[in-house]
Amino acid sequence: MNRAEKEQAVADLRDSLSKAASVVLTDLSGIDVDTTNELRSQLREKDVYCKVAKNTLIRIAVEGTKAEAMNPLLVGPTALIWHDEEPSAGAKVLKAFLKEHTNVKLDIKGGYIDGDIYQDDAALKLADMLGKDELRSQILGLMKLVPGTFLALMTTAPRKFLAVLEARKSKLEEEGG
């Protein structure tokens, strides 16, 4: 790779990582080519990117950015896995892949999200985060639930008051009648 190609690779990597919601760093060297291709295929299905790059180029690409915090994780072969919008997308695919392939020895170096570093398998805890669609459905559910609950609350007091009046009326009729 000549200097111009390296500069272009660094610029492309900087641009990609600047858009990334989060990054999971892993070492894919412990798995065979077919398994790696299967993982990459699963990542592509979820619009998750996977890039293997030299640590030196990654360090140059993240220099001066918040992503520079992941420099301590750049030891040995490194694959970067990220999604542009969903912080948990890459970790979810990795977690599902590891659950499906229990015999695969995939080394998770850590994760990066908005300036914070997660060491080792703690990066897979990102998989437990709710995605955008899950959060949207919860918000819509709450928006639907709150007015109904409010309406029920507002009608409960008058109904109970009416029941008390009816009971009082019945009691008075029994006493007087």
Dist CA 28 CA 17 (whole Å)? 19
Same domain, yes or no, for 27 and 85?
yes
Distance CA 136, CA 38 (A): 30
Asked if residue 86 and residue 31 are part of one domain, the reply reads: yes
* Phi, psi of 43, rounded to the nearest 5 degrees: -65, -45
The 3-state DSSP class for residue 128 equals helix
Cα dist from 134 to 11, 49, 87, 139, 152, whole Å: 34, 21, 13, 9, 27
pLDDT, residue 40, reads: 94
Query: 169 and 89, same structural domain?
Result: no
Q: Is the pLDDT of residue 124 over 80?
A: no
Residues 79 and 135 in one domain: no
How far apart CA 113 and CA 86 sit, in angstroms, is 11
Same domain assignment for residues 51 and 97? yes
Q: What pLDDT shows up at residue 136?
A: 81
Write the pLDDT tens digit of every residue in 93-107.
Answer: 998 998 998 888 888
Say whether both 103 and 142 belong to one domain: no
Closest CA to 50 of 63, 58, 41: 41
pLDDT at residue 131 is higher than 80: no
Assess whether 33 and 94 both reside in one domain: yes
Q: Which residue has the higher pLDDT, 134 or 41?
A: 41
Please give the average per-residue pLDDT across 27-51, as a whole number. Answer: 92
Confidence at residue 26, expressed as pLDDT on a 0 to 100 scale: 92
> Are both 18 and 80 inside the same structural domain?
yes
Number of domains in the chain: 2
What pLDDT score was predicted for residue 74?
Answer: 92
Residue 82, pLDDT score: 92
| pLDDT category of residue 177 using cuts at 50, 70 and 90 | low
Domain shared by 101 and 158, yes or no: no
What is the residue range of 37's domain?
3-129
- Phi then psi for residue 42, to 5 deg, are -65, -35
CATH code (residue 9): 3.30.70.1730
